[in-house]
């Protein structure tokens, strides 16, 4: 197969978004629109990928910062789609092969569609191939004009005759072009139209007049090439992405009780026989194992959840790890760099931050555990707090295996509770507790017999 190059147009402002941000950095299902497009093109293994920038170019570049090997070209001012593609020429000079042209705002585009486009383009020996679709409401799109079944021109809405406006086959704006003679022909395009722009679709007429083969590929599902122009469209396309993602996961053996309310990002993986109750949010690079149960109102971001974990209602888990068989929540907050061990329990109103809770350990009620390393089979009583912050820096707490922390204790860090030690309820622990010891650090109780009766006299 010959070399493939990708050019993505992303210079436009997206005025109708009414945003300070450029349109293509807005996110659909947590991923910037332009990243969706680049992912669709990744399987083509392009030799060169050029993104055409204009409005707030530096911001788009910043959002794409993690992608290696991208080339950028600035289009200033923005004089139309043909002019935009011409800006890629310096990066493609001396290259051979096929250019696939994409827009940065079409997040539903599928890799398989681009593969079909390129394969058809090559199989038919075309110099240009246009991706088209049949739609009920073609308003605003370029119309595909055919003679004897063959494409002869694309006419923009504003330049179309009433008969042409009635055509329901539209230009997706996505094409495959042979590099030779693309850029020479682009320079022949003049802004002789209602909008005074350099129209890329004019290439069809130019190629036809030279007898160069132009082909079309007609999409089955026209939704794939829908672009985002407003916040409403962003929500509509996000809903489609969301529903597609839920369908894929259900097909792979995940139970999703209410797919309409399941918000699952494209980079999330979920094992078979896991059950998602309504209204869960699984974001970023989250991985969930097999046979888990995630109850309503849970949000998990960039975290790893092993097999057989139960996460009860209304928990937030961020950048953390929960080991197999653990139970979390309801109403638990697991903050970054925490690690919940196998079969461990984190109960209601318990907050973990940068804390490891060892296997079989339990912190079931109303606790703050921060910067703590807690061993196996530890019982952390209700209301226990690690006082990790001294006003200047964070200090560690260590609780060794099998220790028992009585309810409503404060562990004033840095401090260590030794293996199997007990801390009496209501203690404020400032010094290390030796293994096997009992630490009592609270005022001694005094009972005054008959005190109430005396007071009433
Ligand atoms: C374009 C096509 C139309 C097609 C439609 C599909 C032209 C003249 N028309 O119309 O046939 O049906 O797409 O959506 O090509 N852009 C730049 N620089 C520019 C102009 C545009 O980067 O100078 C980018 C925009 O950011 C956008 C894309 O190109 O991502 C399309 O531009 P837009 O002006 O929206 O074209 P349409 O009028 O939609
Ligand atoms: Ca558009």
In order along its 457 residues, the chain shows pLDDT tens digits of 579 999 999 998 899 999 999 999 999 999 999 999 999 999 999 999 999 999 999 999 999 998 999 999 999 999 999 999 999 999 999 999 999 999 999 999 999 999 999 999 999 999 999 999 999 999 999 999 999 999 999 999 999 999 999 999 999 999 999 999 999 999 999 999 989 999 999 999 999 999 999 999 999 999 999 999 999 999 999 999 999 999 999 999 999 999 999 999 999 999 999 999 999 999 999 999 999 999 999 999 999 999 999 999 999 999 999 999 999 999 999 999 999 999 999 999 999 999 999 999 999 999 999 999 999 999 999 999 999 999 999 999 999 999 999 999 999 999 999 999 999 999 999 999 999 999 999 999 999 999 999 999 8
Nearest-CA residue for atom 17 of ligand 1: 11
284 and 361 share one domain: yes
**Residue 303 within a domain:** yes
* Contacts for 257 with CB less than 8 Å, ≥ 6 apart: 275, 276, 277, 278
**CA angle centred on 369, ends 365 and 370, rounded to 5°:** 160
Backbone angles phi, psi at 63, to 5 degrees: -65, -25
Q: For the chain, how many structural domains are there in total?
A: 2
Partners of 56 in the β-ladder: none
Contact 158, 193 (CB under 8 A): yes
141 lines ligand 1 (CB under 6 A): yes
Is the torsion defined by CA of 73, 74, 75, 81 positive or negative?
A: positive
Query: Per-residue DSSP letters for 275-298?
Result: EE-SS-EEESS-EE-TT-EE-TT-
**Residue 12 within a domain:** yes
Q: Which residue has the tokens 């707030």?
A: 56
Q: Which ligand is nearest to the CA of 169?
A: 1
Look up the CATH number of the domain holding residue 296: 2.160.10.10
Q: Which ligand is nearest to the CA of 200?
A: 1
190 and 299 share one domain: no
**Which tokens is 294 given?**
């995630």
377 lines ligand 1 (CB under 6 A): no
75 lines ligand 1 (CB under 6 A): yes
Atom of ligand 1 nearest to the CA of 9: 22
Longest dimension (CA), the chain: 116
Atom of ligand 1 nearest to the CA of 77: 23
105 lines ligand 1 (CB under 6 A): yes
Q: Are strands 169-178 and 128-134 parallel, antiparallel or unpaired?
A: antiparallel
Is the torsion defined by CA of 408, 412, 417, 422 positive or negative?
A: negative
Measured N-to-C along each axis, helices 202-209 and 179-186 cross at an angle, to the nearest 10 degrees, of 110
What distance in Å separates the CA atoms of residue 122 and residue 148, rounded to the nearest whole number? Answer: 22
276 and 412 share one domain: yes
Look up the CATH number of the domain holding residue 77: 3.90.550.10
245 and 217 share one domain: no
227 lines ligand 1 (CB under 6 A): yes
Nearest-CA residue for atom 29 of ligand 1: 9
Nearest to 102 by CA among 31, 184, 42, 156: 42
**Which tokens is 314 given?**
């209304």
**Which tokens is 237 given?**
């396309």
What distance in Å separates the CA atoms of residue 25 and residue 179, rounded to the nearest whole number? Answer: 29
**Residue 326 within a domain:** yes
Atom of ligand 1 nearest to the CA of 14: 26
**Residue 455 within a domain:** no
**Residue 449 within a domain:** no
**Residue 453 within a domain:** no
Q: Which ligand is nearest to the CA of 56?
A: 1
Provide the domain limits for residue 68.
Answer: 4-225
Contact 118, 40 (CB under 8 A): no
Measured N-to-C along each axis, helices 111-123 and 33-41 cross at an angle, to the nearest 10 degrees, of 50
170 lines ligand 1 (CB under 6 A): yes
Active site members:
365
Give the end of a domain, one of 196, 225, 254. Answer: 225
Nearest to 142 by CA among 162, 158, 157: 157
Is the torsion defined by CA of 365, 366, 370, 372 positive or negative?
A: negative
**Residue 448 within a domain:** no
- Residue 12 CA to ligand 1 centre (angstroms): 8
361 and 405 share one domain: yes
């Amino acid at each position: 197969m010959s070399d493939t190059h990708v050019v993505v147009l992303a210079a436009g402002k997206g005025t109708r978004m009414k945003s300070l941000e450029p349109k293509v950095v807005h996110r659909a299902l947590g991923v910037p629109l332009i990243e969706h497009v680049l992912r669709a093109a990744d399987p083509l293994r392009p030799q060169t990928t050029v993104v055409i920038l204009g409005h707030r170019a530096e911001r788009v570049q910043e959002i794409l910062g993690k992608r290696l090997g991208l080339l950028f070209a600035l289009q200033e001012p923005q004089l139309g789609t043909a002019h935009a593609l011409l800006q890629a020429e310096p990066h493609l000079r001396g290259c051979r092969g096929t250019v696939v042209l994409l827009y940065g705002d079409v997040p539903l585009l599928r890799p398989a569609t681009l593969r079909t486009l390129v394969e058809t383009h090559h199989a038919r020996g075309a110099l240009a191939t246009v991706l088209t679709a049949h739609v009920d409401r073609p308003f605003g799109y370029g119309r595909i004009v055919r003679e004897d079944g063959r494409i002869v021109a694309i006419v923009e809405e504003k330049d179309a005759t009433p008969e042409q406006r009635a055509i329901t086959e539209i230009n997706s704006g996505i094409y495959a072009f042979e590099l030779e003679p693309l850029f020479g022909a682009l320079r022949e395009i003049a802004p002789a139209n209602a909008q005074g722009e350099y129209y890329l679709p004019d290439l069809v007429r130019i190629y036809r007049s030279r007898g160069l083969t132009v082909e079309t590929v007609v999409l089955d599902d026209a939704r794939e090439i829908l672009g985002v122009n407003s916040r409403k469209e962003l929500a509509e396309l996000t809903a489609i992405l969301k529903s597609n993602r839920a369908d894929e996961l259900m097909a792979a053996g995940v139970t999703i009780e209410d797919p309409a309310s399941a918000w699952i990002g494209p980079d999330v993986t979920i094992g078979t026989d896991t059950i998602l109750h309504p209204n869960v949010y699984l974001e970023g690079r989250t991985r969930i194992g097999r046979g888990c149960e995630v109850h309503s109102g849970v949000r998990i971001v960039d975290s790893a959840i092993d097999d057989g974990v139960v996460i009860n209602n209304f928990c937030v888990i961020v950048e953390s790890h929960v080991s197999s068989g653990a139970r979390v929540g309801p109403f638990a907050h697991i903050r970054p760099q925490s690690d919940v061990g196998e079969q461990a329990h984190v109960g209601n109103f318990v907050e973990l931050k940068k804390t490891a809770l060892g296997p079989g350990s339990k912190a079931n009620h109303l606790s703050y555990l921060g910067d703590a390393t807690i061993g196996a089979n530890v019982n952390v009583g209700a209301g226990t707090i690690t006082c990790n912050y001294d006003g200047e820096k964070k200090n560690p707490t260590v609780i060794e295996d099998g220790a028992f922390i009585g309810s409503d204790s404060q562990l004033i860090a840095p401090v260590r509770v030794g293996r199997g030690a007990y801390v009496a309820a209501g203690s404020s622990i400032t010094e290390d507790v030796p293994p096997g010891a009992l630490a009592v650090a609270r005022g001694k109780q005094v009972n005054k017999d008959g005190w109430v009766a005396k007071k009433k006299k």
